[in-house]
Amino acid sequence: MENKEFIFKMNGLSMAYGDRTILSNINLVVRPGEFWFLLGPNGVGKTTLLKALLGMHQPQQGHLQLHPKFAQGNFVGFVPQRCDLNPTLPTTVKEFVLLGLAGIRTSKGAELERLRWALEKMKLEEMIDKNYWSLSGGQRQRALVARALIRRPKLLIVDEPTKDLDLTAANALMESLTDLNRKENLTILFVTHDLTLAAHYATHIALFLDGHVEAGLCHTILNQENLERAYGVPVSIWQEPSGALNVRINGTGGLR
Amino acid sequence: MIQNFLSSWGLFYQTYLAGWLIILLLSLIGVLVVGRDQIFIGAAISQASTLGVALAMGATALFPEDQFPWIHSTIFLSAMAVIFSVIAASITGQGGASGKESHEAITGWVFLISASLSILIVSHSPHGLEEIHRLLSSSIIGATAVDVWVFGILTIFTALLLTIFYRKILLFSLDTSMAVAIGMRIKIWNVITSAWLGLAVGLSIRASGMLYTFGCLVLPALVAKNLCREVRHMFLVAPVVGLLVGITGFVLANGYDYPPGQMTVTLFCLLLVLVWIFRRLGYKSGL
């Protein structure tokens, strides 16, 4: 495992806004094919870490190293929480997804081939000529992922994509992402508050605790002590007969 | 009527050509303004451009022509119109982020301060007041060969930019979060698009006045928005529809002796209502 090539490394990385340090001494190695979940309460620095990866915010200390092989071209695909597009504007799924190719020069044939691939991966082939605004919430979210995928990234960053989705739509999206991770060996960084999703789908977890990050394999990080420290509430965690982990924040009346 | 129009060609061809080129130019840029749902920005920038002209007119009263001839030149008037358009485009591009004032509030402020100051500045100058009233009421009569060339070049340049950087411009204009995420330098793009919008609006204001400029900026794009299924089609439909309405408007204005700017804008507004009805009926019948 240690010798496996990395996608990116963070060595002693600290992030700050002015004098206010948000994250300090972050050490993280992400390798190809890993499915990382970034967990933690609001305001602990998850978005700040994403900004560092997207080159939108420079570290205060330490450094972020991208593997030269992956740093070339379109290294990162980003799926934002929301889409800024004006909802009165006419656009089809095809046009919306092709917008993801901004800044990439390819032939018309290669463009269409990428489009078909991205739509197929997100199970939206049938929707290609539909109005984007006529899609359901879950389909729109998958179109957002397809727009990031069309760039053929090595690392896909997904920011709380299941936040406003019902259970069925959220599951469909998670299955598509898991397929991408397993079949295409795509590395995924998934930001969420949903501990149950993390327990089911993550191979690795980065848990944000008081400006630090505990990172590693899902089973080692996702334990009662860490989660209670991170969220400040009692947490139950147990293993299903299938071997999958399950998590409950006690006192909330259900799974989160 | 068409015969009448053709016979007026020799006298007014520069006005007609400049008017149609303004429609082509502004309808292309207007797709981005309408796409961002920031239609009122067009009005605010046009009004700010008028303030630039008012300030230039006010300056002529303060600086004698024999000592400062450049202040009395039309180039100075045009430059002030463009400078104030660019400033307004930059200011109205700000805001909207959490903790900041909204786009609408900033745009409203720019519109109101420009509208009131432009009148206050020239209120004691009969010539200046007349010029501002002419700009506000829009008169495209009197365009020169230079105007035709300037708008021709600007239109070709705009069409080229849109063709070459189509996806980047669209992504930056319509989905800034994604544009940031793929590494586009938003600040630079903001400066470029503000300057571009300011230049087009500022020059159009000087040549055709506020009503015509604002109308050509938003109305063809609004018509296209209701006719098209994709944004890329809007870049074709808006100028084509704009040109057809512009030609019809000028012919009718010439035939019935009405001001061409107002006639064209009225036709655009009527067409927009028709398109709205057509779309509504189509929606109800499931088309």
Which amino acid, A254?
G
Do A175 and A123 have their domain in common?
A: no
Place B284 in a pLDDT band, splitting at 50, 70 and 90: low
Mean pLDDT of chain A: 84
Is A172 a member of any domain? Answer: yes
Say if the Cβ atoms of B177 and A80 lie within 8 Å.
Answer: yes
Between A162 and A35, whose confidence is greater? Answer: A35
Do A193 and A232 have their domain in common?
A: yes
Closest by CA position to B209, among listed B147, B154, B134: B134
ipTM, two decimals, is 0.79
Say if the Cβ atoms of A102 and B35 lie within 8 Å.
Answer: no
Summarised one tens digit per residue, pLDDT across range B93-106 is 765 555 567 878 88
Say if the Cβ atoms of B168 and A102 lie within 8 Å.
Answer: yes
Q: What is the pLDDT of residue A88?
A: 86
Q: What is the pLDDT of residue A232?
A: 77
Q: Which residues in B lie closer than 8 A to residue A131 (C-beta atoms)?
A: 229
Is A100 a member of any domain? Answer: yes
SS (H, E, C) A57-108: CCCCEEEEEECHHHHCCCCEEEECCCCCCCCCCCCEHHHHHHHHHCCCCCCH
- The arithmetic mean of pLDDT across residues B142-169, rounded, is 91
Mean pLDDT of chain B: 86
Is B221 a member of any domain? Answer: yes
CB B201 within 8 A of CB B85: yes
Do A172 and A212 have their domain in common?
A: yes
- The arithmetic mean of pLDDT across residues A102-116, rounded, is 90
Q: Which domain holds residue B179?
A: 2-277
A13: CATH: 3.40.50.300
Is A81 a member of any domain? Answer: no
Q: What is the pLDDT of residue A17?
A: 85
Do A50 and A165 have their domain in common?
A: yes
Which amino acid, A75?
F
Q: What is the pLDDT of residue B2?
A: 79
- The arithmetic mean of pLDDT across residues B259-285, rounded, is 88
Q: Is B121 a residue whose pLDDT tops 50?
A: yes
- The arithmetic mean of pLDDT across residues A212-224, rounded, is 84
Least confident stretch, A41-50, B77-86, B122-131: B122-131
Do A24 and A49 have their domain in common?
A: yes
Summarised one tens digit per residue, pLDDT across range B216-225 is 999 999 999 9
Candidates B37, B175, B234; nearest CB to A83: B175
Half-sphere exposure of B192 (CA within 13 A, CB side): 14
Q: Which residues in A lie closer than 8 A to residue B225 (C-beta atoms)?
A: 88-90
List Cα–Cα distances, B151 to A114, A124, B208, in angstroms.
39, 44, 12
Q: How many helices (H) and strands (E) in chain B?
A: 12, 0
Q: Is B141 a residue whose pLDDT tops 80?
A: no
B63: CATH: 1.10.3470.10
Do A64 and A181 have their domain in common?
A: yes
Q: What is the pLDDT of residue B138?
A: 63
Q: Which residue of A has its CA nearest to B167?
A: A102
Q: Which helix (H) or strand (E) holds A16?
A: strand A8-17
Do A147 and A165 have their domain in common?
A: no
Count of domains for chain A:
2
Q: Tokens standing for B20?
A: 């149609």
Q: Which residue of B has its CA nearest to A158?
A: B181
Q: Which residue of B has its CA nearest to A81?
A: B177
Q: What's CA B150's distance to the chain center, in Å?
A: 15
Count of domains for chain B:
1
Between B280 and A117, whose confidence is greater? Answer: A117
Window A:148-207, CB contacts with B under 8 Å: 151
Candidates B181, B229, B232; nearest CB to A54: B181
SS (H, E, C) B43-56: HHHHHHHHHHHHHH
User: B168 touching A, CB under 8 A?
Assistant: yes
Summarised one tens digit per residue, pLDDT across range A177-214 is 999 899 888 999 999 888 888 888 889 999 988 778 88
Do A56 and A176 have their domain in common?
A: yes
Q: What is the percent of chain B where pLDDT is above 70?
A: 93
Q: Which domain holds residue A119?
A: 86-152
- The arithmetic mean of pLDDT across residues A50-61, rounded, is 84
Do A178 and A209 have their domain in common?
A: yes
Candidates A56, A84, A101; nearest CB to B175: A84
Q: Is A173 a residue whose pLDDT tops 60?
A: yes
Place A83 in a pLDDT band, splitting at 50, 70 and 90: confident
Is B101 a member of any domain? Answer: yes
Interface test with A, best of B168, B170, B175 (most A CBs within 10 A): B175
Q: Is B285 a residue whose pLDDT tops 70?
A: no
Q: What is the pLDDT of residue A252?
A: 52
Q: Is A78 a residue whose pLDDT tops 50?
A: yes
Most confident of the ranges B130-139, B203-212, B237-246: B237-246
- The arithmetic mean of pLDDT across residues B163-180, rounded, is 85
Is A8 a member of any domain? Answer: yes
Q: What is the pLDDT of residue B198?
A: 85
Is A80 a member of any domain? Answer: no
